[in-house]
Amino acid sequence: MEKAFHHLHKAADADNAYAWYRLGRLYLSDEYKDIGRAVRYLTLAANRKNEFASYRLGKLYLAGEEVVKNVELAIRYLEESAGVGNQYAQYVLGKVNLMGREVEQDKEKAYEYFRLAAEQGNVYAAYFLEHWNDMPHPDLLLMATRLMHHLEKIMEDDVSGKKGGRRAGMDRKLARKIKNKKIAQGHARDDREEMVQTQ
C-alpha cells in the first residue's frame, strides 16, 4: 500500500483524475480514513466529470455523517453522476425522490430514475419497480432493499471465505448506527437495553 500511495500521489500531482478518485476512495476507507483529504480528492475528480467521484460526494453530503449535510450539493453531485448514466446515482436519486425527505416527493421522477438504474441491471431499483403498487408506504420497500443489500454482502463474504475483514467493518458501522439510533430514542450512551423500533 505504501507503494500504491506513492504512485497514486505522483499521478495526482500530475493532475490525473483517476488517481484523485482512487485516493479519495482510499481516504474514505476505515483503514486510511481522512475525510478532509477524501473530499478534496473526490472534488477534484468530480470537477473533471468523474461520475464515480460525483456519486461518492453526493452520498457523503446526503448522509451528513462525516461531513456537514448539504442536500443541495448532494443532489447536484448525484444528478451530475446520474446524468452520465451512473446507475448507483440514479438509484439513490430514485429513493430520495420517492421518500420525499431531503427533497419534495416526486414519484414520477423517482420512477424514472429507478427505471434508468434497473435498465443497467440494478436489482434494487428493479425491486422498487416490481413492487411499485404493492406497498402503501415507500419506507417498507426501502427497508426490504436494505435487508437484501446486507444479505448480499453476508453471502459474498461467506462464498469468498472471508472471516472478519469487510464484514467486521460492516458490523462496526451497523453497531454505530444502532447506537446512534438508541441515543436518538432517549437511551443513555452506555445503555445496554435493546432498541425499541418506533416505526
Q: What is the pLDDT of residues 157-195, one digit of tens each?
A: 666 555 544 445 556 677 677 766 656 655 555 544 443
Residue 198 has pLDDT above 60, yes or no: no
How buried is 1 (Cβ within 10 angstroms: 0-12 exposed, 13-18 middle, 19+ buried)? exposed
Q: Which helix (H) or strand (E) holds 126?
A: helix 123-130
User: How many other β-carbons are positioned within 10 Å of the β-carbon of residue 14?
Assistant: 8
User: In terms of Cα–Cα distance, which of 190, 189, 188, 187 is closest to 198?
Assistant: 187
CA pair distance 88, 55, nearest whole angstrom: 7
> Residue 192 has what pLDDT?
47
Q: Is the dihedral of CA 197, 101, 60, 190 positive or negative?
A: negative
Asked whether the predicted pLDDT for residue 100 surpasses 60, the reply is yes
Confidence (pLDDT) at 196: 37
pLDDT of the residue at 142: 63
- Amino acid letter, 139: D
In the predicted model, what is the mean pLDDT of residues 131-154? 68
Nearest to 118 by CA among 145, 96, 74, 88: 88
Q: What is the mean pLDDT of residues 5-31?
A: 94
Spatial separation of the C-alpha atoms in residues 172 and 178, rounded to whole Å: 10
At how many degrees (to 10) do helices 17-28 and 35-47 cross?
Answer: 150
As a residue count, the chain comes to: 199
For 131, the 3-state DSSP assignment is coil
- Rounded to whole angstroms, the Cα distance separating 126 from 148 reads 12
pTM above 0.85, yes or no: no
Q: Give the other-Cβ count within 10 Å of 24's Cβ.
A: 27
Cα separations in angstroms, 4 against 23, 32, 120, 166: 10, 13, 32, 20
